[in-house]
């Protein structure tokens, strides 16, 4: 907690560490009233540093220092300085052993950084800078050490004692206590350290690697969760095989462990050999987890496993390079999800997140490059830009190089930098060296923030049969960055003839055989491309597969949108054309008179989607989703959130009324037979019938109501049960709403992951999630201010998804959020800073709203003792 202004850290001030730590020997004495940490470091001067005989400086946070010894000799108080955030030893030899004993209180750690307790177990979260909450240490990723960890605790309360690597020794200590010693042979930065102690059940499996080694796979969960491990274990084995086959990466330790904990700030953490997961990102059963959760779990298990190479074996030099591991690993996990599921659907999901949330971030006050140049609090930079835009940047390299050269590049990267802490530049250089391609201009993707805009125009010269496409790129200013240079953009496109056929893209230089799809490379501000040999003006299919994270502006007519929606051979662009059409229709209704007409062609297009069962049903299920209010806000110049919400609702109801019989037929056609399985085919069926239900309930359809009630009672899986619950909660049937919410809670109250879903269905609903109801949820006995998932499922869902209630014209939603942020700032600043996000977008909104949002931000700013996390977000937003 602070009163003065936090410092800004700059990439340009990076210096190699003055001292290196070769080995770390840790001993944890875990007690109920605190933990004593004994640490012995083998330290030596860094030969690459020019700091010479500089004082030794170790980072610390909230530690009680008990003793310091150098080469076995206790130091007296004059020989070191304990400044709280630093332990400084003025004069040290070139090489020495430093022993430090600290006392910490995990049981009182509400920030969930460092060592803390979660439902009775001890666990850690060290990334980015949590290790300094455990002991004094050079807490920076370019200091890599071999760790040996001995954990001591009461044997009956904590029978399971875990840390990184292999367990090498265990035994009893008397007085009911025992110990286990772990040794990790791979040097690692301290952010990958982990410790777990608890009364956990163990689930075991084995994986045989490509070279024939048997790996011991273990999951550790609380006994009540023993039956929710299978899906994660299967996902793990699939990930291990996939990384061998796709990237040639084999697992390197003898054991791989996964632990589930209920209180966790983020999704999961890739600690070496000991991944720790938020329970909601790993535990699943058919009865308690939705299809979305199953897929999310598979992706996160894969993500954390893939970090073993992209992150752990090759790590980051400093936190400005965070996207080195996160962007690459998100790219890897999305390739994996595409391979094991539906590639088109995966792309649609990724682009939806990117365009809705990352574009908003990139156009807002917290905009930053994929490789930031400065930060105050690194926790604030675990962002959509670092993760998702970072993944898009890697994806563009993949597109530019092609799969084979990309694989050569990744092989070279892993081989060249194994055991090192490196930069995004090193990554790009490996790609260049392996492929012979020059990516110097491409590097601007890492340096320049902001979403590039492509203005596309075209003309057809019928006399010469030439179609001329002009593409102009510009990149908007972002905080601290103006006058940007053009970037290197891969732009995939195709051209369609009037019967929907793919036309050859014949550039002047081409012979007769021209491809029907090309990836154009944009490098200048303006490009003109001429396609020859055409008999008619084609319809362009632009930016296929969303080949670059950019906004395309082109004057599409509704005819063209409808045409692409049914003819584009690129499934992603078919979906995109449908979205664009829906956006166009909704936008035309914003603020329009209540009786203004709605384009009949939209209804016809949706009817075709719903009723033609020969179409790819997974794609259809996604095409039926109207663009979200959040996306419509992102697209708006000066957003009137309530009017946007209203226009969207109007279109939805209009479609539902017009397609009422088709929806009922669609529901019945997609009633499941056979055993539940999380396959693209079944997911599509469930999605279709739940969309049908949701729409029918929007128009108070009695048959829909009956179907929903029956589904709510009889379904054998959470996707359907929750789908029915959500449809009823969002309907006008008030009594049904109350009853199903109650029944649902009765049935699942013992399951925290389901209760979180129950909270968020209400908090995100404009019927069940008005402010008084939200306040009641905060008082509910299942709510817990110490549990980030509960906070996210009520406060986060309200502010992020319940736009009608959050943007109430009286500003009560904004003030409510400000109150919760202030309240949380003292206990968990990371979560508090995340919750501020919706308010940071204040400039996007129409004046009446933006003024109120701004004053809510100012109220947070004026709270005394603001954390560095919230300080940074609020001050940058108000700047």
Question: In this complex, which beta carbon is closest to Zn ion, that of residue 124 or of residue 757?
Answer: 124
Contact by Cβ (8 Å): 552, 456: yes
Question: In this complex, which beta carbon is closest to Zn ion, that of residue 329 or of residue 717?
Answer: 329
Residue nearest to ligand ARG (CB): 382
Q: Which stretch binds ligand ARG (CB under 6 A): 65-73, 149-157, 268-276, 733-741?
A: 268-276
Residue 75, class by beta-carbon neighbours within 10 Å (0-12 exposed, 13-18 middle, 19+ buried)? middle
Picking from 650, 721, 655, the residue whose alpha carbon sits closest to that of residue 690 is 721
Q: What six digits make up the tokens of 209?
A: 């690697």
Contact by Cβ (8 Å): 393, 387: no
Q: What six digits make up the tokens of 392?
A: 């898009």
- Residues that are catalytic: 304
Least distance CB 548 / Zn ion (angstroms): 23
Among 131, 382, 759, 806, binds ligand ARG (CB under 6 A): 382
What are the CB-based long-range contacts (under 8 Å, 24+) for 400-409?
400/437, 400/439, 400/442, 400/488, 400/490, 400/519, 400/521, 401/431, 401/435, 401/437, 405/434, 405/435, 405/437, 406/431, 406/435, 407/247, 407/248, 408/434, 408/435, 409/433, 409/434, 409/435
Q: What angle do CA 159, 164, 169 make, to 5 degrees?
A: 55
In the range 322-361, which residues lie near ligand ARG by CB under 6 A?
A: 326
Least distance CB 194 / Zn ion (angstroms): 15
Question: In this complex, which beta carbon is closest to ligand ARG, that of residue 268 or of residue 852?
Answer: 268
Question: In this complex, which beta carbon is closest to ligand ARG, that of residue 127 or of residue 362?
Answer: 127
Least distance CB 280 / ligand ARG (angstroms): 14
Kindly state whether residue 278 participates in binding ligand ARG, applying the rule CB under 6 A: no
Question: In this complex, which beta carbon is closest to Zn ion, that of residue 191 or of residue 631?
Answer: 191
Least distance CB 125 / ligand ARG (angstroms): 6
Question: In this complex, which beta carbon is closest to Zn ion, that of residue 316 or of residue 754?
Answer: 316
Q: Which stretch binds ligand ARG (CB under 6 A): 147-155, 166-174, 265-273, 584-592?
A: 265-273
> Which residues, in sequence order, are CB contacts of 794 under 8 Å at separation 6+?
759, 760, 763, 774, 777, 778, 783
Partner interacting with residue 129 (select from ligand ARG, Zn ion, none; CB below 5-8 Å by kind): none
Kindly state whether residue 263 participates in binding ligand ARG, applying the rule CB under 6 A: no
Contact by Cβ (8 Å): 478, 496: no
Question: In this complex, which beta carbon is closest to ligand ARG, that of residue 264 or of residue 744?
Answer: 264
Question: In this complex, which beta carbon is closest to Zn ion, that of residue 187 or of residue 311?
Answer: 311
Which residues share a beta bridge with 177? 154, 174
Question: In this complex, which beta carbon is closest to ligand ARG, that of residue 140 or of residue 506?
Answer: 140
Collapsed DSSP state (helix, strand, coil) of residue 91: coil
In the stretch 214-253, what mask flags binding to ligand ARG with x, by CB under 6 A?
A: ----------------------------------------
Question: What does 339-389 look like in DSSP terms, one character per residue?
Answer: HHS-HHHHHHHHHHHIIIIIHHHHTSTT---SS-SEES-GGGG--HIIIII
Question: In this complex, which beta carbon is closest to ligand ARG, that of residue 269 or of residue 647?
Answer: 269
Collapsed DSSP state (helix, strand, coil) of residue 11: helix
C-alpha–C-alpha distance, residues 425 and 750, integer Å? 49
HEC string for 149-210: EEEEEECCCCCEEEECCEEEEEEEEECCEEEEEEEEEEEECHHHCCEEEECCEEEEEEEECC
Among 269, 456, 543, 635, binds ligand ARG (CB under 6 A): 269
- H-helix or E-strand containing 497? none
Among 127, 139, 333, 756, binds ligand ARG (CB under 6 A): 127
C-alpha–C-alpha distance, residues 698 and 317, integer Å? 53
How many residues sit in the footprint of ligand ARG (CB under 6 A)? 12
Question: In this complex, which beta carbon is closest to ligand ARG, that of residue 127 or of residue 184?
Answer: 127
Partner interacting with residue 149 (select from ligand ARG, Zn ion, none; CB below 5-8 Å by kind): none
C-alpha–C-alpha distance, residues 471 and 618, integer Å? 33
Partner interacting with residue 382 (select from Zn ion, ligand ARG, none; CB below 5-8 Å by kind): ligand ARG
Which residues share a beta bridge with 461? 466
Least distance CB 316 / Zn ion (angstroms): 11
Question: In this complex, which beta carbon is closest to ligand ARG, that of residue 316 or of residue 778?
Answer: 316
Contact by Cβ (8 Å): 794, 777: yes
Among 304, 568, 646, 701, binds ligand ARG (CB under 6 A): 304
C-alpha–C-alpha distance, residues 736 and 702, integer Å? 12
Least distance CB 7 / Zn ion (angstroms): 26
Partner interacting with residue 266 (select from ligand ARG, Zn ion, none; CB below 5-8 Å by kind): ligand ARG
Taking the alpha carbons of 851, 854, 860, 864 in that order, is the dihedral positive or negative?
Answer: negative
In the range 24-83, which residues lie near ligand ARG by CB under 6 A?
A: none
Residue 789 CB-half CA count within 13 A? 21
Least distance CB 446 / ligand ARG (angstroms): 18
Among 18, 128, 236, 357, binds ligand ARG (CB under 6 A): 128
Among 344, 379, 573, 698, binds ligand ARG (CB under 6 A): 379
Kindly state whether residue 662 participates in binding ligand ARG, applying the rule CB under 6 A: no
Picking from 303, 388, 382, 387, the residue whose alpha carbon sits closest to that of residue 350 is 388
In the stretch 819-858, what mask flags binding to ligand ARG with x, by CB under 6 A?
A: ----------------------------------------
Among 257, 260, 268, 692, binds ligand ARG (CB under 6 A): 268
Kindly state whether residue 568 participates in binding ligand ARG, applying the rule CB under 6 A: no
Least distance CB 276 / Zn ion (angstroms): 13
Contact by Cβ (8 Å): 126, 144: no
Q: What six digits make up the tokens of 167?
A: 């367990």
Question: In this complex, which beta carbon is closest to ligand ARG, that of residue 717 or of residue 787?
Answer: 787
Angle of the 390-417 helix axis to the 230-247 helix axis, nearest 10: 70
Q: How far is CA 483 from the centre of its chain?
A: 30
Kindly state whether residue 131 participates in binding ligand ARG, applying the rule CB under 6 A: no
Least distance CB 266 / ligand ARG (angstroms): 4
Question: What does 826-841 look like in DSSP terms, one character per residue?
Answer: HH-HHHHHHHTHHHHT
Least distance CB 253 / Zn ion (angstroms): 19
> Which residues, in sequence order, are CB contacts of 292 under 8 Å at separation 6+?
719
Among 196, 266, 620, 832, binds ligand ARG (CB under 6 A): 266
Least distance CB 838 / Zn ion (angstroms): 24
In the range 177-216, which residues lie near ligand ARG by CB under 6 A?
A: none
Least distance CB 270 / Zn ion (angstroms): 6
Kindly state whether residue 640 participates in binding ligand ARG, applying the rule CB under 6 A: no
Partner interacting with residue 269 (select from Zn ion, ligand ARG, none; CB below 5-8 Å by kind): ligand ARG
Q: What six digits make up the tokens of 821?
A: 């942020």
CB-based burial, 846-867: b 16+ in 10 Å, e otherwise: beebbebbbebbebbeebeebb
Q: What six digits make up the tokens of 820?
A: 């919760």
C-alpha–C-alpha distance, residues 57 and 18, integer Å? 9
Q: Which stretch binds ligand ARG (CB under 6 A): 263-271, 557-565, 694-702, 807-815?
A: 263-271
Partner interacting with residue 268 (select from Zn ion, ligand ARG, none; CB below 5-8 Å by kind): ligand ARG
Q: Are strands 177-188 and 166-174 parallel, antiparallel or unpaired?
A: antiparallel
Partner interacting with residue 127 (select from Zn ion, ligand ARG, none; CB below 5-8 Å by kind): ligand ARG
Binding footprint of Zn ion on the chain (CB under 5 A): 326, 329
Question: Which residue ranges make up the site for ligand ARG (CB under 6 A)?
Answer: 127-128, 265-266, 268-270, 303-304, 326, 379, 382
């Amino acid at each position: 907690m602070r009163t003065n202004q936090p410092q800004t850290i700059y990439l340009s001030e990076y210096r190699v560490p003055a001292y290196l730590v070769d080995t770390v020997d840790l001993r944890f004495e875990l007690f109920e009233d605190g933990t004593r940490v004994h640490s012995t470091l083998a330290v030596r001067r860094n030969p690459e540093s020019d700091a010479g005989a500089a004082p030794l400086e170790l980072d610390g946070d909230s530690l009680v220092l008990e003793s310091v010894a150098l080469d076995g000799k206790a130091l007296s108080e004059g020989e070191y300085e304990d400044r709280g955030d630093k332990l400084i030893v003025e004069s040290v030899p070139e090489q020495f052993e430093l022993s430090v004993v600290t006392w910490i209180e995990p049981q009182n750690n509400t920030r969930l950084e460092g060592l803390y307790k979660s439902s009775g177990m001890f666990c850690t979260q060290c990334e980015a800078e949590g290790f300094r909450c455990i002991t004094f240490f050079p807490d920076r990723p370019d200091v890599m050490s071999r760790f040996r960890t001995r954990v001591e605790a009461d044997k009956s309360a904590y029978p399971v004692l875990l840390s990184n690597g292999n367990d090498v020794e265990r035994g009893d200590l008397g007085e009911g206590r025992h110990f286990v010693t772990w040794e990790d042979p791979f040097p690692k930065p301290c952010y990958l350290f982990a410790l777990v102690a608890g009364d956990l059940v163990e689930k075991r499996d084995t994986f045989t690697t490509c070279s024939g080694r048997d790996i011991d796979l273990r999951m550790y969960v609380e006994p009540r969760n023993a039956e929710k491990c299978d899906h994660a274990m299967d996902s793990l084995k699939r990930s291990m095989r996939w990384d061998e086959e796709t990237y040639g990466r084999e697992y390197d330790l003898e054991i791989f462990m996964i632990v589930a904990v209920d209180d966790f700030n983020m999704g999961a953490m890739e600690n070496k050999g000991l991944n720790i997961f938020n329970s909601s990102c790993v535990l699943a059963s058919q009865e308690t987890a939705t299809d979305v959760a199953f897929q999310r779990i598979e992706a996160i298990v894969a993500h954390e496993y893939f970090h073993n190479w992209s992150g752990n074996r090759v790590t980051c030099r400093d936190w400005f390079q965070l996207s080195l591991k996160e962007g690459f690993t998100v790219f890897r996990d999305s390739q994996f999800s595409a391979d094991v599921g539906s590639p088109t659907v995966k792309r649609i999901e990724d682009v939806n997140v990117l365009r809705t949330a990352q574009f908003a971030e990139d156009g807002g006050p917290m905009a930053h490059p994929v490789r930031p140049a400065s930060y105050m609090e690194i926790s604030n930079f675990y962002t959509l830009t670092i993760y998702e835009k970072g993944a898009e940047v890697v994806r563009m390299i993949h597109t530019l190089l092609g799969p084979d050269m990309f694989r050569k590049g990744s092989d070279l990267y892993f081989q060249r930098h194994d055991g090192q802490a490196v930069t995004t530049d090193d990554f790009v250089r490996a790609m260049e060296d392996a492929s012979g391609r020059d990516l110097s201009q491409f590097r601007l993707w890492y340096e320049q923030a902001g979403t590039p805009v492509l203005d596309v125009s075209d003309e057809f010269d019928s006399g010469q049969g030439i179609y001329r496409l002009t593409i102009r790129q510009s990149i908007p200013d972002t905080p601290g960055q103006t006058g940007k240079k053009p970037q290197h953009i891969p732009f995939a496109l195709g051209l369609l003839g009037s019967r929907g056929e793919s036309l050859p893209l014949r550039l002047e230089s081409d012979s007769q055989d021209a491809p029907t799809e090309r990836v154009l490379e944009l490098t200048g501000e303006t490009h003109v491309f001429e396609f020859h040999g055409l008999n008619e003006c084609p319809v362009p299919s632009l930016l296929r597969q969303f080949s670059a994270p950019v906004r395309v502006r082109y004057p599409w007519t509704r005819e063209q949108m409808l045409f692409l929606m049914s003819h584009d051979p690129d499934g992603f662009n078919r979906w995109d054309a449908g979205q664009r059409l829906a956006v166009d229709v909704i936008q035309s209704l914003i603020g329009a008179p209540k009786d203004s007409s709605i384009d009949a062609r939209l209804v016809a297009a949706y009817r075709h989607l719903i009723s033609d069962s020969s179409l790819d049903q997974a794609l259809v299920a996604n095409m039926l989703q109207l663009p979200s209010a959040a996306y419509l806000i992102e697209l708006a110049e000066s957003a009137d959130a309530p009017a946007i919400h209203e226009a969207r609702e109007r279109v939805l109801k209009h479609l539902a009324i017009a397609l009422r019989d088709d929806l009922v037929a669609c529901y019945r056609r997609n009633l499941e037979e056979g055993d539940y399985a999380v396959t693209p085919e079944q997911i599509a069926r469930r999605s279709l019938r739940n969309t049908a239900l949701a729409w029918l309930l929007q128009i108070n359809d009695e048959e829909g109501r009956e179907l929903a009630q029956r589904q709510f009672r009889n379904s054998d899986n959470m996707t359907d049960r929750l789908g029915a619950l959500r449809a009823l909660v969002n309907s006008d049937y008030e009594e049904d709403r109350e009853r199903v919410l109650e029944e649902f809670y009765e049935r699942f109250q013992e399951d925290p992951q389901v209760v979180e879903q129950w909270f968020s269905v209400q908090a995100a609903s404009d019927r069940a999630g008005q402010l008084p109801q939200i306040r009641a949820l905060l008082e509910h006995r299942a709510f817990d201010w110490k549990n980030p998932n509960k906070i996210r499922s009520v406060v986060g869902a309200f502010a992020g998804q319940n736009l009608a209630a959050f943007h109430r014209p009286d500003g009560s939603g904004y003030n409510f959020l400000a109150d919760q942020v202030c309240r949380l700032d003292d206990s968990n600043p990371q979560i508090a800073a995340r919750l501020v996000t919706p308010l940071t977008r204040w400039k996007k909104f129409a004046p009446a709203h933006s003024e109120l949002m701004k004053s809510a931000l100012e109220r947070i700013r004026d709270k005394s003792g603001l954390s560095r996390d919230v300080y940074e977000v609020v001050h940058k937003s108000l700047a």
